[in-house]
Structure 1
Amino acid sequence: MSEITAARQSGGIFVPVAGLTAFAIASGYLMSLIPLTLGHYGLPASLASWLASTFYLGLLLGALIIENVVARHGHRLSFIGFQLLLALTIVIMPVMTEQWIWLLARFVAGVAVAGIFVVVESWLLIGDSKKERAKRLGFYMTALYGGGTLGQFGIGFIGVEGLFPFFSILALLLVAILPALVSKQSQPACEQHVSLTTKQIRALSKPAVLGCLVSGIVMSSIYGLLPFSLQLQGLNAEQISGLMASTVLGGMAIQPVVSALSCRMSKSLLMAAACLLGIFATGLMSLVEGYSIMVIGLALLGMSSFALYPIAISLACDELDSSQIVSATQIMLFSYSVGSVVGPLTAGRFLTQTHGLVNFFFIALASTAVYMLMVSLKQKPQVVAG
């Protein structure tokens, strides 16, 4: 067993949500900036998929070690520390442009982001009821995707060349630290938390684990390769910015729906429905040409892929005691990270094909939809009162 700090203060969600929003704006801009700025720094385009996978490899490793860090330093200081570690990588990249430096920086950034996710998720997911957890998770996902949407506009407004984009991201990360830095009393109340045993980990919902895995596969490919794929199609920076914003905005828009429905219907069936929406989106973009269709299709794809993680992590935590939430979120993030490492490397093989990345999304979502439908058919119909 390990003891770590956890949030249980009423109204104690401002600090993590405010910090997460500024972080999400910076992260959304950064994830789209990196593949588009490679040429400016004389780095090969083929490095894009490796940078994405290296980042998620760091995320995977971070998911294994974060619990001990939070146990020692608490949520508030851990949040500040991980933000500063991420900021350090932003300082290094534009001044040291060797490939191995960028790969190392993105690996370290992945560890830092894993810490940010686990700290904020565990801060918000502590609740006495499924409804309370779903409500807080809705705040979390809205802040994450809303900030990510705003970050996409940095491509068009700030650009992708020179030092200024990196300085802008650095400034946002420093802003993200401020709420936790000035609100010293925001440190969550102490409560005993325990690590899940191997038996308990194996007993976690299989659809939840798979949902996080597939979410990692699809979302890492969206953030890591979609801007580059759109660039290969001849779109300019402003068009790419608009399409990425549309994708993330779709993910944000679906969060209130997910929060409401996750308490009222089978979560495996809800994940199947999300996958079917993504299948429709990929079919639309494959069969009909045009920028407007891409805006609609990517918004629907964002709704589909960005819905999977909150549904899955909520499903994993449904039957757990509050004392096990941090350990569970760490395990779900690990599953997400495994998918995130595999996703860009696998999706990269599809980039040279017509509608290659769209076809990759179709395969991932269609296979998941079939599994989730099979699981939901085996379950007894159950409606949870709101």
Structure 2
Amino acid sequence: MFSPLVTFPALYFATLLMLAGSGLFTTYIGLRLTEQGAGDFWTGALMAAYYFGLVCGGKFGHRLIASVGHIRSYVACAGAATVTVLIHALIDDLNVWIALRFIMGVVMMNQYMVIESWLNEQAENHQRGKVFAGYMVAVDLGLVIGQALLAWHPQLDYKPLLLVAICFASCLIPLAMTRRVHPAKLVAAPLEIRFFWQRVPQSLVTIFTAGLLVGGFYGLAPVFASRSGLDTAQSSFYVGLCIVAGFCAQWPLGWLSDRLDRCKLIRANAVLLCLAAVPLWGLITLPYPWLLAAGFVSGMLLFTLYPLATAFANDHVEPERRVELSAMLLTTYGVGACIGPLLAGAAMEHFGPGTFYVLTSAYALILIVFVQPRFVSGEHRLDAAPLHHVAMPDSVSPMAAALDPRIDEVPQEMVVEAPASIGPGSEKT
């Protein structure tokens, strides 16, 4: 019997180490700046710079992998990530840190691309679901381990940076030692942005909103927890619990998604998220257990919007366009994740930490208004719809598109970059 953990241990272990370092680093930066009295806007700007680096990193990663190959490009970028982290310990300047976060986003996108393209090429089509599930477990488990490391060492000195550097340096080892055949070079393909905007506008709006929410969460949730009176260990536990909640909700949501109207399910998710965020607005002071409970519920709903919208979009796009669709959705998500931390940081700086969840309710309200079954014409709905729901991690590159088991035949030439212009359209999802 095929077991992805046995077949791809090096790739999964490298992913786990990389995400552990990234999760620890993101939370540490937010708490460190809060302790130093930096404005919440600048904390959000650091996260926005990281996501902007991810968005811009696709083109850089494609060229680097094409020039020197997968292993060398991964080694170079993991080394650059390690150096970037250690520079934070030498230079305590916010402007420099913003530039470093952008660089971190660029190099980590290359690392995502290497691992995901490798998994894609060497996973057979009937194995793709298990391979993708294994990859998702490695991503989420790595993020949770990162929070656990900060809870283990809650002092906001330079030692957490050393732990991050150790994680980034250690993820080199499994890929450098693997004996698996290297994947083929990547070839870029065009992406028709106007086509997808006309075909699946409600999905794109949902994905963009999910980017606003998740980008803001990773950047400002530690700040929210800290300014709500939690210490470093409690703040990292709060963030980790929310991530675990999103992970746990993926499969029950998938079961519902395969049986209920997905447009109605997105709207219901948005209604529940809007309400679940209300206790966290800061109107009342919640005891620590109740704060964790409210964060858990909101995390369940927040992290499930992206996979639900992806499933909804796949129901209305032909199989041969699904790799491009996934790349389009991830790009849209990345743009939202660039903007989300900036908006949340500015709002929290002026109106207090609870404003983070006020914005969460506001974003959910936008989905309630925009995503409605009466806007769904059904004109382009596939005969096979609804397709099987697939749980999706939020920390991936466009290369992960081809791991999606809903794509029956995956070419080796992957969609990496696709500049195009967005035009107006009238077709609805």
Aligned counterparts, 1:215-254, within 5 A: 215-254=210-249
Matching residue of 2:408: none
Instruction: Give the whole-Å Cα distance in 2 for the aligned partners of 1:334 and 1:64.
Output: 12
Q: Alignment partner for residue 336 of structure 1, among 313, 333, 337?
A: 333
Matching residue of 2:88: 93
Matching residue of 1:364: 363
Deviations 1:157-178 (A, max 9, x none): 1124222111101111122222
Decide which moves more: 301-310 or 370-379: 370-379
Matching residue of 1:6: none
Sort the Cα spacing of 1:378 and 1:248 in 2 relative to 1 into closer, same or farther, 3 A. same
Instruction: Give the whole-Å Cα distance in 2 for the aligned partners of 1:267 and 1:115.
Output: 33
Shift of the alpha carbon at 1:54?
Answer: 1.8
Instruction: Give the whole-Å Cα distance in 2 for the aligned partners of 1:97 and 1:375.
Output: 53
> Does the residue aligned with 2:156 lie in a helix, a strand or coil?
coil
> Does the residue aligned with 1:254 lie in a helix, a strand or coil?
helix
Sort the Cα spacing of 1:248 and 1:259 in 2 relative to 1 into closer, same or farther, 3 A. same
Deviations 1:320-366 (A, max 9, x none): 657973x5544333212211121111112332247311111111122
Shift of the alpha carbon at 1:277?
Answer: 3.7
Instruction: Give the whole-Å Cα distance in 2 for the aligned partners of 1:375 and 1:186.
Output: 50
Q: Alignment partner for residue 47 of structure 1, among 22, 38, 42?
A: 42
Sort the Cα spacing of 1:49 and 1:385 in 2 relative to 1 into closer, same or farther, 3 A. closer
Matching residue of 2:158: 163
> Does the residue aligned with 2:275 lie in a helix, a strand or coil?
helix
Instruction: Give the whole-Å Cα distance in 1 for the aligned partners of 2:373 and 2:63.
Output: 37
Shift of the alpha carbon at 1:28?
Answer: 1.2
Decide which moves more: 43-52 or 192-201: 192-201
Decide which moves more: 59-68 or 84-93: 59-68
Instruction: Give the whole-Å Cα distance in 2 for the aligned partners of 1:284 and 1:40.
Output: 25
Q: Tell me if structure 2 keeps the 8 A contact 1:134–1:259.
A: no
Matching residue of 2:298: 301
Instruction: Give the whole-Å Cα distance in 1 for the aligned partners of 2:180 and 2:310.
Output: 28
Decide which moves more: 198-207 or 180-189: 198-207
Matching residue of 2:354: 355
Shift of the alpha carbon at 1:298?
Answer: 1.2
Correspondence 1:271 to 2:266: yes
Instruction: Give the whole-Å Cα distance in 2 for the aligned partners of 1:94 and 1:291.
Output: 32
> Does the residue aligned with 1:297 lie in a helix, a strand or coil?
helix
Instruction: Give the whole-Å Cα distance in 2 for the aligned partners of 1:204 and 1:117.
Output: 28
Q: Tell me if structure 2 keeps the 8 A contact 1:221–1:343.
A: yes
Sort the Cα spacing of 1:37 and 1:321 in 2 relative to 1 into closer, same or farther, 3 A. same
Decide which moves more: 192-201 or 146-155: 192-201
Q: Tell me if structure 2 keeps the 8 A contact 1:26–1:173.
A: yes
Q: What TM-score, normalized by structure 2, do the two folds share?
A: 0.75
Deviations 1:260-290 (A, max 9, x none): 5555555444433433342232134347732
Aligned counterparts, 1:129-148, within 5 A: 135-148=130-143
Instruction: Give the whole-Å Cα distance in 2 for the aligned partners of 1:375 and 1:68.
Output: 44
Matching residue of 2:18: 23
Instruction: Give the whole-Å Cα distance in 1 for the aligned partners of 2:150 and 2:5.
Output: 38
Sort the Cα spacing of 1:360 and 1:186 in 2 relative to 1 into closer, same or farther, 3 A. farther
Aligned counterparts, 1:180-259, within 5 A: 180-188=175-183, 194-197=189-192, 202=197, 205-259=200-254
Deviations 1:63-121 (A, max 9, x none): 45434444444544444433332222101111111222111101111212333344444
Q: Tell me if structure 2 keeps the 8 A contact 1:141–1:255.
A: no
Q: Tell me if structure 2 keeps the 8 A contact 1:220–1:340.
A: yes
Aligned counterparts, 1:93-112, within 5 A: 93-112=88-107
Identity rate of aligned residues, in percent? 21
> Does the residue aligned with 1:360 lie in a helix, a strand or coil?
helix
Q: Tell me if structure 1 keeps the 8 A contact 2:209–2:336.
A: yes
Instruction: Give the whole-Å Cα distance in 1 for the aligned partners of 2:119 and 2:206.
Output: 20
Sort the Cα spacing of 1:136 and 1:291 in 2 relative to 1 into closer, same or farther, 3 A. same
Instruction: Give the whole-Å Cα distance in 2 for the aligned partners of 1:52 and 1:135.
Output: 31
Shift of the alpha carbon at 1:18?
Answer: 2.2
Q: Tell me if structure 1 keeps the 8 A contact 2:191–2:328.
A: no
Correspondence 1:151 to 2:146: yes
Instruction: Give the whole-Å Cα distance in 2 for the aligned partners of 1:128 and 1:264.
Output: 27
Sort the Cα spacing of 1:239 and 1:11 in 2 relative to 1 into closer, same or farther, 3 A. closer
Decide which moves more: 260-269 or 99-108: 260-269
Decide which moves more: 30-39 or 112-121: 112-121
Instruction: Give the whole-Å Cα distance in 2 for the aligned partners of 1:98 and 1:211.
Output: 36
In structure 2, what residue type is equivalent to 1:348?
Answer: G
> Does the residue aligned with 1:185 lie in a helix, a strand or coil?
coil
Instruction: Give the whole-Å Cα distance in 1 for the aligned partners of 2:5 and 2:190.
Output: 24
Total equivalences in the alignment: 376
Shift of the alpha carbon at 1:229?
Answer: 1.8
> Does the residue aligned with 1:222 lie in a helix, a strand or coil?
helix
> Does the residue aligned with 2:266 lie in a helix, a strand or coil?
helix
> Does the residue aligned with 2:91 lie in a helix, a strand or coil?
coil
Matching residue of 1:113: 108
Correspondence 1:310 to 2:307: yes
Sort the Cα spacing of 1:173 and 1:329 in 2 relative to 1 into closer, same or farther, 3 A. farther
